[in-house]
């Protein structure tokens, strides 16, 4: 069964303390891996798409990387406004669906 | 530069009533997806539509739920005879080229069944 597992479930960091969020997946024929940010009461906001192992994308303090089994979202010197839930999704498998993980709740303390 | 628009933002229905959720995709997008989200749960796929066609409804419950995306107007997710277990946030997303492009989400409709 195609699965997406995100860890940790929740993460508290001090402002400026860099860290990484993990997204591991099992899907045959990966067509794309997506990262989203979701704020309370809002819909997910698209951040990155990664298509193949070794690919990296960057946006401000965020960098996403991809291997054959997992993706990392690296957060460098985070600020309180980076606090949100970060969602990972993969597309692939027999029916080509886009499957979401449960997310990592990130809280950056000032 | 309007994004995906969903309305209403909040909807309260009594058990047995009907709920209608509306979604207007981003300009230039003709592919619409509906997802459901429960607290502490991930987004669960429900249905994928193009104009006038249902492409994949494998995530939709077989009874009481239906979706449409007419030639003119918004996509509609309809839930008949709602039950308490239908309470959730329902998100609509659109994309330009279907499954080869990222989804862009609206801010959801929060359905509460009393």
Report the 3 state secondary structure along A55-92: CEEEECCEEEEECCCEEEEEECCCCHHHCEEEEEEEEE
B19 — pLDDT class (breaks 50, 70, 90): very high
Burial readout A37-72 (b: 16 or more C-beta within 10 A, e: otherwise) = bbeeeebbebbbbbeeeeeeeeeeebbbbbeeebbb
Q: What is the pLDDT of residues B48-84, one digit of tens each?
A: 999 889 999 999 999 999 999 999 999 999 999 999 9
Asked if B33's CB is within 8 angstroms of A98's CB, the reply is yes
Q: What is the pLDDT of residue A92?
A: 85
B113 — pLDDT class (breaks 50, 70, 90): very high
Among B6, B42, B56, B98, pick the best mutation site for testing chain A contact (most A Cβ within 10 A): B42
Q: What is the pLDDT of residue B20?
A: 98
Q: What is the pLDDT of residue A90?
A: 93
Q: What is the pLDDT of residue A47?
A: 97
- The long-range contacts involving B69-74, CB below 8 angstroms and separated by at least 24 positions, are B69/B32, B74/B5, B74/B22, B74/B23, B74/B24
Q: What is the pLDDT of residue B73?
A: 92
Contact residues, B window 36-95, toward A, CB-based 8 Å cutoff:
40-45, 56, 58, 91, 93
Residue A29 has pLDDT above 70, yes or no: yes
For B54, the token pair is 């249902």
Q: What is the pLDDT of residues A39-94, one digit of tens each?
A: 999 999 999 999 999 999 999 999 999 998 999 999 999 999 999 999 999 998 87
Q: What is the pLDDT of residues B26-43, one digit of tens each?
A: 998 999 999 999 887 889
Q: What is the pLDDT of residue A80?
A: 97
Quick one: closest CA in B to A40, which residue? B107
In chain A, which residues touch B (CB < 8 A)? 4, 31-32, 34, 36, 41-46, 49, 87, 89, 91, 95-103
The residue ranges of DSSP E strands in chain B, in sequence order, are 5-7, 10-13, 19-24, 31-37, 43-50, 53-56, 65-68, 75-79, 88-95, 104-105, 109-113
Q: What is the pLDDT of residues A84-101, one digit of tens each?
A: 999 999 998 877 788 999
């Amino acid at each position: 069964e195609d699965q997406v597992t995100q860890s940790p479930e929740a993460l508290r960091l001090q402002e400026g303390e860099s860290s990484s969020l993990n997204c591991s997946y099992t899907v045959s024929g990966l067509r794309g891996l997506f990262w989203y940010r979701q704020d309370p009461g809002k819909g997910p906001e698209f951040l990155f798409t990664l298509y193949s192992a070794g690919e990296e994308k960057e946006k401000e303090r965020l960098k996403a990387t991809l291997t054959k089994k997992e993706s990392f979202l690296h957060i460098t010197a985070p600020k309180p406004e980076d606090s949100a839930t970060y969602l990972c999704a993969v597309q692939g498998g027999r029916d080509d669906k886009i499957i979401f993980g449960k997310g990592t709740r990130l809280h950056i303390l000032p | 530069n309007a994004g995906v628009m969903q309305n209403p933002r909040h909807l309260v229905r009594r058990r047995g009533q009907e709920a209608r959720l509306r979604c207007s995709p981003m300009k230039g997008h003709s592919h619409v997806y509906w997802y459901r989200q429960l607290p502490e749960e991930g987004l669960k796929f429900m249905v994928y539509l193009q104009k006038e066609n249902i492409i994949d409804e494998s995530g939709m419950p077989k009874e009481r739920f239906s979706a449409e995306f007419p030639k003119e107007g918004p996509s509609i997710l309809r839930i008949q005879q709602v039950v308490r277990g239908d309470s959730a946030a329902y998100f609509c997303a659109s994309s330009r080229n279907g499954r080869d492009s990222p989804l862009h989400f609206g801010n959801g409709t929060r359905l509460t069944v009393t």
